[in-house]
């Protein structure tokens, strides 16, 4: 797997909530070197002037970089990481792929296109085979690979091993989603302080369709979505980082709690086998203390901070083959920049980029 040539990368939307996470993870990265960072209102400023949190976690040389205009005509790079708003991503990512560039995107614009991989590296790396389908169908040399919505990621990771071992018929999820999931500056303070908002525009639809695509099987040139009844209620709460999700699920086959503990705690994928730089040792951390996981205490848990999903409150539900649990996933790390960087590391290791 050893490759000594570093790829030159650009981060589009580097000044936003998701973009800044990329720059932490790409600081002194062994495979990637950041050459360009772009934005809109912050063009011309140095990154250090716009960083909102954790400046000390970003390499000094990156903090000194100047934010450029997001111009597809002028910027060249081996790889583009896109943390653009979806409306902008729709045009810009396609223009880049047409020009032969490779794009890994956190935006929702292309996630549900049938020829676009929607990837969680531990869950569905085989879906990267869609890259060739996309190139053939769209007649472009570049490609777009997407990563899921921040609420989808934790859910799909936890469902995957249970789905593989026992089958899943039905899932009911209630989310408590952090403010950073809405970008910066996000939800107005007077709307959210001492409050919960039981609606996030288009979120429930996204989590549902994306989860079924990710758990689906690649059949020839298409993905057959998983056949699970998914019912999601999304809520915005006034935490800063980390989406908490209360999950009820009914499996096809009977299980014991011990079996569930074992398959969750031992779940791993290619990133762990290949020991990729951003791969956490444990994809899922079981924490069965009675009041965990909690966003403030646990959202940076794990060997690579913020990349593990923490699961607690495991218990059998009253109906047949039913399980309840609470999961916590860091929306800006595993759910955005970290997930995309890990996807790129896997593609680099497998010589897809
Ligand atoms: N926040 C999360 O937890 C999360 C998780 C998963 C996926 N995502 C996705 O990541 C993307 C970015 O989200 P975010 O939360 O980081 O949003 P954000 O904080 O609002 O940041 C948006 C970024 O895009 C730039 N931008 C805005 N309009 C632009 C334009 N017309 N041309 C070029 N750049 C433009 C902004 O630049 P300026 O600051 O310079 O104006 C900023 O860097 C979205 O597609 C979102 O769905 C976010």
pLDDT on residue 3: 56
pLDDT on residue 54: 82
Does residue 1 carry a pLDDT above 80? no
**Average pLDDT in the 79-100 region?**
97
Distance from residue 104's CA to the centre of ligand 1 (Å): 14
Q: What percent of the chain has pLDDT over 70?
A: 99
CB of 269 shorter than 6 A to ligand 1: no
Q: 59 Cβ partners below 8 Å, 6+ apart?
A: 23, 27, 28
Does residue 258 carry a pLDDT above 70? yes
∠ CA(137), CA(139), CA(144), 5° rounding? Answer: 75
DSSP string, 52-119: -S-GGGS-HHHHTPBEEE--TTT---SEEEE---HHHHHHHHHHHHHTT-EEEE-SSTTTT-TTS-B-
Q: 115 Cβ partners below 8 Å, 6+ apart?
A: 130, 133, 134, 137, 138, 221
pLDDT on residue 5: 82
pLDDT on residue 4: 63
Cis peptide before 185 (omega within 30 of 0): yes
Which architecture does CATH list for 150-330? 2-Layer Sandwich (3.30)
pLDDT tens, 39-50?
A: 999 999 999 999
Distance from residue 168's CA to the centre of ligand 1 (Å): 34
Catalytically active residues are: 150, 243
Read off φ and ψ for residue 349, nearest 5 degrees.
-65, -35
pLDDT-based confidence at 55, cuts 50/70/90? confident
**Average pLDDT in the 169-198 region?**
96
| Nearest CA owner, ligand 1 atom 37 | 39
Task: Please state, in angstroms and rounded to a whole number, the distance separating the CA atoms of residues 312 and 291.
Answer: 8
CB of 272 shorter than 6 A to ligand 1: no
pLDDT on residue 52: 81
**Domain residue ranges of the chain, discontinuous segments joined by +:** 7-149+337-349, 150-330
Which architecture does CATH list for 7-149+337-349? 3-Layer(aba) Sandwich (3.40)
Tokens of 335: 């759910």
Task: Using the Cα atoms of residue 118, residue 124, residue 125 and residue 126 in order, give the sign of their dihedral.
Answer: negative
Same fold, 7-149+337-349 and 150-330: no
Read off φ and ψ for residue 26, nearest 5 degrees.
-90, 0
CB of 40 shorter than 6 A to ligand 1: yes
Distance from residue 184's CA to the centre of ligand 1 (Å): 8
DSSP 180: G
**Average pLDDT in the 291-317 region?**
97
Mean pLDDT, the chain, rounded, equals 96
């Amino acid at each position: 797997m050893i490759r000594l040539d570093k790829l030159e990368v650009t981060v589009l939307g580097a000044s936003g909530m998701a973009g800044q996470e990329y720059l932490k993870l790409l600081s002194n990265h062994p495979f990637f070197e950041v050459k360009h960072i772009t934005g809109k209102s912050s063009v011309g400023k140095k990154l250090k002037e716009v960083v909102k949190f954790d400046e000390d976690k970003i390499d000094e040389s990156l903090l000194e970089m100047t934010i450029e205009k997001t111009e597809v005509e002028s910027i060249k790079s081996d790889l583009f990481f896109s943390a653009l708003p979806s409306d902008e991503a729709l045009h810009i990512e396609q223009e880049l792929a047409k020009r032969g560039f490779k794009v890994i995107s956190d935006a929702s614009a292309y996630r549900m296109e049938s020829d676009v991989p929607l990837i969680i590296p531990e869950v569905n790396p085989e879906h990267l085979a869609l890259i060739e389908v996309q190139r053939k169908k769209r007649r472009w040399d570049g490609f777009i690979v997407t990563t899921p919505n921040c609420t989808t990621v934790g859910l799909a990771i936890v469902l995957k091993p249970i789905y593989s071992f026992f089958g899943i018929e039905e899932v009911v999820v209630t989310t408590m989603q952090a403010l950073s999931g809405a970008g910066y500056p996000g939800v107005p303070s007077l709307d959210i302080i001492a409050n919960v908002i039981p609606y996030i525009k288009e979120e429930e639809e996204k989590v549902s369709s994306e989860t079924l695509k990710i758990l689906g099987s690649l059949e020839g040139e298409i993905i057959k979505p998983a056949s699970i009844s998914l019912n999601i209620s999304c809520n915005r709460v006034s935490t800063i980082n980390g989406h908490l999700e209360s999950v009820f699920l009914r499996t096809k086959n009977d299980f014991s709690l011990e079996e569930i503990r074992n398959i969750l705690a031992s779940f791993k994928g290619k990133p762990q086998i290949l020991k990729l730089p951003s791969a956490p040792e444990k994809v899922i951390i079981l924490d069965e203390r009675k009041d965990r996981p909690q966003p403030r205490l646990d959202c940076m848990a794990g060997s690579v901070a913020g990349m593990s999903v923490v699961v607690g409150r495991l218990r059998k539900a009253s109906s047949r083959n039913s399980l309840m649990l609470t999961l916590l996933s860091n929306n800006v790390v595993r759910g955005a920049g970290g997930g995309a960087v890990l996807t790129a590391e896997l593609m680099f290791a497998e010589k897809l980029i």
